[in-house]
Amino acid sequence: MRKNILPRKFYSRNTLKVARELLGCFLIREYRGKIWRGMITETEAYHGEDDLASHASCGRTARTEIMYGESGCAYVYMIYGMYHCLNVVTEKKDFPAAVLIRSAKIFRRPTPKKTKISDVYLDGPGKLCKFLKIDRKLNKWDLTKGEKLWIERPAQNCAKRNIVAGRRIGVDYAQHCREYLWRFSINL
């Protein structure tokens, strides 16, 4: 049981590689006795202090400290006063980086079982967190523990097929970094 949890060494690598390989992985949320399970379909990489789109571009603060911390932990922040965004910390300790989980397809029934109830496609980090009851209480949560919130390996590796790369969303202020093709998605 739960032997497919992504280990810390998965996260403790190059952020772009992690962002690509998270596509097709299963995001799992356990909350008040219920378990939601879904496939990650869209991610964005935020990598290093040189990345002007990253919160870490201004260095260490109380808020960004988590991005410098142990990989495999959640970085959850509130944005625009209304929404939360879920990120997973990557790279070695003291290098600030994370992958934003933007979209996922949430299964409303166990995967193999055919059902008339449609799955939920959560396109957008705010909607994703709202549906999965993810807020700042999960900031700094260790995703390798396999409790409350974790990620499991995909049935098949999507990294080598069907990945679309594009500009990151909402980072027009980030000068030349806005051009980076650091957003990755797979078509369902």
Partner DNA sequence: AGATTGATCCAT
Partner DNA sequence: TGGATCAATCTG
Q: Which residues bind DNA (CB under 7 A)?
A: 44, 46, 53-56, 58, 61-64, 67, 77-83, 85, 87, 98, 100, 124-128, 168-171, 173
Residue 121 CA to residue 88 CA, distance in Å, equals 20
Q: Choose between 63 and 93: whose C-beta lies nearer to DNA.
A: 63
Q: Cβ 33 to DNA, closest distance in Å?
A: 26
Q: Cβ 159 to DNA, closest distance in Å?
A: 21
Q: Cβ 154 to DNA, closest distance in Å?
A: 22
Q: Choose between 13 and 153: whose C-beta lies nearer to DNA.
A: 13
* H or E segment to which residue 127 belongs: helix 125-131
Q: Cβ 182 to DNA, closest distance in Å?
A: 10
Q: Choose between 35 and 80: whose C-beta lies nearer to DNA.
A: 80
Burial label for 188, CB within 10 Å (0-12, 13-18, 19+), is exposed
Q: Residue 9 phi/psi, 5° resolution?
A: -65, -20
Q: Cβ 54 to DNA, closest distance in Å?
A: 4
Q: Choose between 40 and 100: whose C-beta lies nearer to DNA.
A: 100
Which amino acid is it at 131? Answer: F
Contact (CB, 8 A) for 22 and 10: no
Q: Choose between 61 and 111: whose C-beta lies nearer to DNA.
A: 61
Burial label for 127, CB within 10 Å (0-12, 13-18, 19+), is middle
